[in-house]
Every structure is written in structure tokens, then in C-alpha cells.
Structure 1
Amino acid sequence: MTTATSAKRNSMLLMALCAIMWSLGGIFIKLISWNPLLICGVRSVIAALILGGYMFVTRTPVNFNKYSFGAGIGLSTSCIFFVFANKLTTAANAIVLQYTAPIFILLMSAFLFKQKLHKKEVVVVGITMCGIVLFFLDQLSPGNILGNIFGICAGVFLALMFVMVGQGGKDDSIRMSGILFAHCMASIVGVPIGLMTTTSTTGMEILYVVILGVFQLGIPYVLYTVASRNCPPLACSLIGMLEPLFNPVWVAIFVGEMPGTFALIGAAIIIAVVTWWCISESKEENPDAPAL
């Protein structure tokens, strides 16, 4: 096995570990009774310390410009909406609706940057929107409906983060700085407001939020940074799909929460069409690329 092949394989394994660690979010958010803002803020404090420490050790510069700042706004807002969505609707709904981000990237590119949508992209957006509609056909309470809306908002702002990083070029410091800024912003907003509306806690809840900060956000972002150096973008995208697949599984096993039938159908449609789009885009950008 060549060195390049070995590095690629190891990076794909790191990406798989990263996605599985990301998938822990749903269960621990469900188990913490705090205000969602406090959950988001405290886990972001921990994640920011880990990512900032990694950037310091690797001498990655903090790059403050409109792209990293915009990416920070997008990711921090997405994180806040995602935690609220997890509290109000099922974990499966929250994570799959957040994973509609690629579709909103297409729409932002069309409306903000005047890029023409091709027929294939219009079909992808249309099918995904149909999948989203299915999430609202289950027997839902007003809270569940609001949770679904928050999940979609998480996808919109995650798309904004990707768009801003993409506009910033291939400078890794912009992406990493954007993630660092995001967690700093989420901390500044979430901790003060969350503390005012959270009256009690337990030792286990403190442990859970530490797990979120260290193992669900902090370490995975470092793993993603390392993996992305040798793991092809398509492989990163497809392996990342382990998160929306495993997230509801953990919640079903440990909390007993199950999504509705229509939501499951909608999730299958969205995951399938986003996966197909990722593969299709990769082939168009590099038609001679070897198989993964």
C-alpha cells in the first residue's frame, strides 16, 4: 500500500469517527434540562478552547475578515437553531432538516450571486422541498412544528457558513477561524441569556454538556481539519452522512424517541437526493477522478 493510499484511508477513518462523534448531539441535548441557549453556549465555550488550542499548537493564524466573520455568524446561528430544534421536535427531524444545507447553498448562489440554476439543480431543490413538506404531515403539536422550522433555519445558516467559506477561497485559516468565531459568538450569546432562564442543574447534566463540548464538537472539528487534508471532498460529504443516520439511532436506543412515518420517508428522500447531488457534482468537477 502506497503512502498516499494509506494516508487517504486513515483520513477517511478519521472522518467516519468525526461523523459518529457529531451524531452524539441529539441524545445529550435531550438529556439536559437547561435552556437551549445555555446548552449551546457552554458546549461552545469548551469547543472554542479546544479548537483555539489546536490552532495555537499548529500555528494556524486567526484570520479575521468578512468571510471568516460571516462564516462565524452562519455557524453560530445554525448551532443555536439546531439545539432549539432538538428540544422542540425529534432528533431525527432536527438533524435531517439541518442537512438540507446543500440545497440552500444552491438557492443562495442563485439569488445572492446570480448563478444560474441548471435543470438538475432545480430538480434536486424541488425533490428536497417535497421531502421537507413530509416532515409537517405527521401528527404534530405547535412545538413540534416550530422545532421543524428551527431545523430548517439551522440548515439555512449552515449553508451561509459554507457559502462564506467558499467565497473566501482555499485558505484553511478562514474556515478554522470562522468555526472559532462561531463558537465564541454562541458562547457570548448563549451563556448570559441561558443562565438567566436556567434555575437548576445536576452533576450528570454538567457531565453531559462537557461531553458535548469535548466529544461532540471540539475534538470532531480537529479531526475534520486533519481528515480533510487527505480525504477527498466527496468522501467527506458522504461519510459525513453518518451523522444524520446515527443521531436518531442513539436517541431511539437511549431515550426511546421515534420519528413519525412521514418524517422517516422525508428523511430518506432528503438523504438520498443530497447524496446523489454530492456524487453528481464531484463527477462533473473531476470526471477523471478515481473511485473512492
Structure 2
Amino acid sequence: MKTKINANIYILLAALCWSSGGILVKIISFDPFNIAFFRALIGLIAFGIYLKKSIPKLNRKIILSALCIAMTNVLFVIANKLTFAANAIILQYTAPIFVIFMDFFINKVKATRHQLLTILLCTVGVVLFFFNDIGTGKIIGNLIALFSGITFAGVFFINRFKNSSTVDSAFLSNFMIVIVLLPFAIINPIKSITINESIAVFLLGTIQVFMAYIFFSKGIKGTSSINASLISIIEAVLNPLWVAIFFNELPNTLSFIGFFIIIFASIYNTFKENTIETDVKNSK
């Protein structure tokens, strides 16, 4: 039990680090691909220092996880530039729904009644996010954010397997991003950068990427993928909160309703999971 509590705390710390992403991206004025490139470059250097001379392991699970992390990171930056921060992060946190589906189709674990209700509630919340943005130019950003929810689910799902390594996957994912986006960074170089932007880019690489995945690696092995994805939902609250406080960027009314429906659904599912776990232990 103590191990699981410690694991949950590490996942919570990872979520706190991730929550800095929205406001840091908003501080930076240059295009999302350059943001993603320099964030990954700084993250790669940080992981390289952390790993020192040890060579990262490579296997199918680590490569798949790295692809999921890389896609999640890039899609998140793009979505933040194309839609509200609240929309981007909440739609990314449809991840628990996709984790449930992955469990069913890959591990043959059937969803419980409360998990199905969670999926229904989150679907309603997502529909509300899309409803008012149709025709406003935000729909593309929302679709990208929703797709990042699928790739983010892969991060939680794959890193629970034996022979997976979050740190090695995170290192590899940053390497992938740097290689893929290097030509773009050369063709479209940053013409000017302020001190605040320099600090924001540095914090994206060190806090939002490096520290987040260090904490995540310490927590994911000690809890279930669905539980980890639901604990990290706190990022969905904090991320747009920081942006709303410092940038006065508030989503529309229906988006707020969708926001609270998804938060409620995730809290409800966590409560039911803990209740079931307690009942099982008491019956032994």
C-alpha cells in the first residue's frame, strides 16, 4: 500500500510539472515547431546529463513509448497555438478513455460499469468542447488536442509493461523530435527572442519535459495505467488555471461545462476504483 501511495505521489508531481506547459507556450511568440524543437533539444541535453555514460536500452516497447511521447509533446504545442489552453489540455486528458479501450482490445480486460459511465460522461464533455468552436477556427486545434489524448494514453499504457523504460523512452522521444524538426529549425530560424522567452523555453525542456518524466518513471510501475492517467488529470485543472490567471484567456460557457463534466467523470472513476480495491482487500 505504501509503495502505491508513493507511486501516486510521483504521478501527481509529474502532473504538476506538465501543468506548466500551457502558460510557458503562451509566453513564447515563435511558431510551434520551433518551440517543440528547442524544448526537445533542452530536454535531450537534460536526459543526457542524467543518464551520463549509460546507453539507453532499445526494444519495441521503448520505441513505441518514445513515439507516443514525441507525438504527444509536439501535438500539445501545436494545439496550444490553435485553440484555448483549457481545450487543448482537457481534450488531451481524454487519455483515460483510450487507456480503457487499450486494456479491452489488447489485454482483454473488460470495462466495468463505472468505466463505461466515465466514457459516456467524457464523450459528452468532448462534444461540448467542439460545439461552439465549429466555424471559429478552433476546430483544428481541438482535433489535434483530441488526437494527443490517444498518444498520451499510449504513454500510460505501454510504460506499465515489463521491459519498458520511461527514462529511455523520453530520451529517445526528444532525440526523434530534434532530428525530425532540425531541418525546419534551420529553414525557419528564430529571428529574435526575449529574456522571458528564453527562460520559458528552458523551463519547458527542464521542468515540463525532463522533471515530469523522471517523476513519471518513478511512479508508473507502482500503480495501474488507468489510475495513473486519472491522477494526472490534475494537470487538466492547473494548466488552464495558470493561463487564465496570467493571460485572462477564458474558454466559452459550453467549454466550461464540458471541462467540469470531464473532471467529475475522472474523479468519479477514481473513487469507484478505490472503493473496489478496498472491498477486494477486505474480503481477503
TM (norm. structure 2) is: 0.84
Matches within 5 A, 1:15-164: 15-56=11-52, 62-111=56-105, 115-139=109-133, 141-164=135-158
Which residue does 1:208 correspond to in 2?
Answer: 200
Contact 1:40/1:79 (8 A) holds in 2: yes
Residue 245 (structure 1) aligned with residue 237 (structure 2): yes
Of 159, 169, 176, 1:165 maps to 159
In structure 1, distance between residues paired with 2:226 and 2:108 = 25
Contact 2:22/2:80 (8 A) holds in 1: yes
Cα deviation code 1:19-57 (max 9, x no counterpart) = 322211101111212221221121112122223332348
- Structure 1 pair 271–191 and aligned structure 2 pair: CA distance change class (3 A): farther
How far did 1:247 drift?
A: 0.9
Of 192, 210, 213, 2:183 maps to 192
- Structure 1 pair 78–227 and aligned structure 2 pair: CA distance change class (3 A): closer
**Which residue identity is paired with 1:75?**
I
User: Aligned-pair RMSD on alpha carbons?
Assistant: 3.1
- Structure 1 pair 51–276 and aligned structure 2 pair: CA distance change class (3 A): farther
| Same amino acid, percent of matched pairs | 31
- Structure 1 pair 109–43 and aligned structure 2 pair: CA distance change class (3 A): same
Of 161, 166, 171, 1:180 maps to 171
Contact 2:93/2:236 (8 A) holds in 1: yes
- Structure 1 pair 132–177 and aligned structure 2 pair: CA distance change class (3 A): same
Contact 2:156/2:226 (8 A) holds in 1: no
**Which residue identity is paired with 1:94?**
A
Contact 1:35/1:197 (8 A) holds in 2: no
Which residue does 2:264 correspond to in 1?
Answer: 272
- Structure 1 pair 264–30 and aligned structure 2 pair: CA distance change class (3 A): same
